[in-house]
Structure 1
Amino acid sequence: MRHAKHELNGKVVAITGGARGIGFAVAQRCAEAGMRVAIGDVEADLVMDAAARLGPSARGYVLDVRDKASFQSYLDSAEAELGPLDALVNNAGVLRMGPLAATDDASVDLQLDVNIKGVITGSRLALERFLTRGDGHLVNMASSAGMVATANGAAYSATKHAVLGFTRALRGELRGSGVRTTVVMPGVIRTDMTTDFKNAVGVRVVEPAMVAERIVEALRSGALEVCVPREIAVQGRLFACLPPRASDFLKRITRVDEVMH
């Protein structure tokens, strides 16, 4: 079934964690597509510099996704300067690697607060706007770790499984409302969060620009789920359909469980 493409030129997109890495790549690609871009990031200097690099169609705002008032102010300010919000990309995320037994409460809480609570907060605030208008698009950043859990990233994997489940459930709630959802599952992306990752068999490291391109494609097409690179979808289904012991064995021989060491 073919769906109409959505025009992006002149539309307004808010991108959390947009000052660097995947977020900035998404901001660049959205600006190239003619969108007006509101970058939100917790680091004030970085976010202002990032917005300046994008040009006059972009604005930068200090945002802490853990703080509902901060998120509300971010979206309010973006709409006041750029116009009604058409899309929100919940990209902000943090990763803390290591065995759970050696992980402190602060690291667990930070990942939960940013990676899943921040996504839920942003989605709720955006939906207040989208549902009134009968239009809008939520893009939530999960991870291949939300499909195939990996050792030494238990808390992180938990948050990304949560984002995937949350977005799938939300899709059912929004059916017929005119509001679209997309959940994105990147594999290993070359960013400052993944510099210590080890190689695994069949895991291709890709650039943030590839994720950005696929997200812009999804904004146009309304794609429900996006895996980057595409083979992540096949790998995820393979691990999911195997019995647990067989899945664990496959992780060992492909060294998937060593990626986050």
Structure 2
Amino acid sequence: MRVAITGAARGIGFATAKALRDKGAAVVIGDVDEEAVRSAAAELGVTGLRLDVTDRASFQNFLAGSGDYDVLINNAGIMPIGPVLEESEADARRCFDINVHGVMTGTKLALEKFVPAGRGHIVNVASVAGVLPTPGLALYNGSKAAVVAFTEAVRLEVRRHGVHVGAVLPSFTNTELVAGTRSPRGQRNCEPEEIAAAVLSLLARPRPQVVVPARLSPQIRAMPLVPQRVKDLLNRRLGLDTLFLEFDPRARKSYDERIRS
């Protein structure tokens, strides 16, 4: 198995690359941060290439440099947070350019290779935020909801060609994305290695969607049937109504500067 992973210099992408490498896969990682991806590749003993997922030519070069890959993991993403009226137009466009259009571009480029071959696997890293809207997370919610819907539509379209497409939906995970925030009451954050394990599980047994942690999956499936007043009560009890509105901007400063650079 030869795997190309986007946004893999850190966090979930890095953990996934390590897990796949440990399973004997040939791994190629890409990231817009050229210095970071070179360092990560050297640490992992894999190939690292600069990749800007918002640039189609850059994505094409990354995939060409990945050789005869049979798996693409679209992991690159950013998470701006805060009141929607305080989110800039630049943040909104950048969030969708990376989180949505980057996934779409990668998926389509991989399908150009996979569909004629009658094989291949695409995993799009979405988020529980794509199915559970949360105050202070509007841009990210919207972008990940798009990824969830896009992935399922593509899966239905190409499955007859022998190509597998699926999504992994992590909950709160200990990466830079949640810097300066707190965990929902009574819950612990996932570790990147848990998301990596879910990706490997999806590759081993293809299915439409995997939620991490798995215990949230029944709750998410049931949510459309839950009255809105009950949803609002649950959000308040878990602290989700204020979690992304009341955060430490100093703790997020480094991350915010990096995703906007």
TM-score, normalised with respect to structure 2: 0.91
CA contact (8 A) 1:42 1:63 kept: yes
* 1:208-223 equivalent positions in 2, closer than 5 A: 208-223=192-207
The runs of at least 4 aligned residues of structure 1 exceeding 6 Å deviation read none
SS for the counterpart of 2:76 is coil
Match of 2:157 in 1: 173
SS for the counterpart of 1:76 is helix
User: Which string of whole-angstrom CA distances, capped at 9 and with x for unpartnered residues, describes residues 74-101 of structure 1?
Assistant: 001111xxxx111000000000000111
Deviation of 1:153 after TM superposition, in Å, equals 0.6
Residue 253 (structure 2) pairs with residue 254 (structure 1): no
Deviation of 1:45 after TM superposition, in Å, equals 0.7
* 1:82-231 equivalent positions in 2, closer than 5 A: 84-231=68-215
Amino acid at match of 2:47: R
Distance 1:157 1:202 in 2: 22
> How many residues are aligned here?
245
Equivalent residue in structure 2 for 1:76, among 64, 67, 91: 64
Distance 1:199 1:175 in 2: 37
Equivalent residue in structure 2 for 1:24, among 5, 11, 14: 14
CA contact (8 A) 1:204 1:229 kept: no
Deviation of 1:246 after TM superposition, in Å, equals 2.7
Equivalent residue in structure 2 for 1:48, among 17, 23, 38: 38
Unaligned runs of 5+ in 1: 1-10
Distance 2:242 2:121 in 1: 36
TM-score, normalised with respect to structure 1: 0.91
RMSD: 1.2
Unaligned runs of 5+ in 2: 246-261
Amino acid at match of 2:57: A
Distance 1:44 1:180 in 2: 30
User: Which string of whole-angstrom CA distances, capped at 9 and with x for unpartnered residues, describes residues 91-134 of structure 1?
Assistant: 00000000111110111111100001100000000000001110
SS for the counterpart of 1:169 is helix
Match of 1:4 in 2: none
Deviation of 1:202 after TM superposition, in Å, equals 4.6
User: Which string of whole-angstrom CA distances, capped at 9 and with x for unpartnered residues, describes residues 135-194 of structure 1?
Assistant: 000100110101111100101000011110111111110121110011010000001111
Match of 1:243 in 2: 227
Match of 1:60 in 2: 48
SS for the counterpart of 1:89 is strand
Change (3 A) 1:90 1:254: same
Q: Percent identity?
A: 40
Distance 1:146 1:199 in 2: 18
Deviation of 1:252 after TM superposition, in Å, equals 1.6
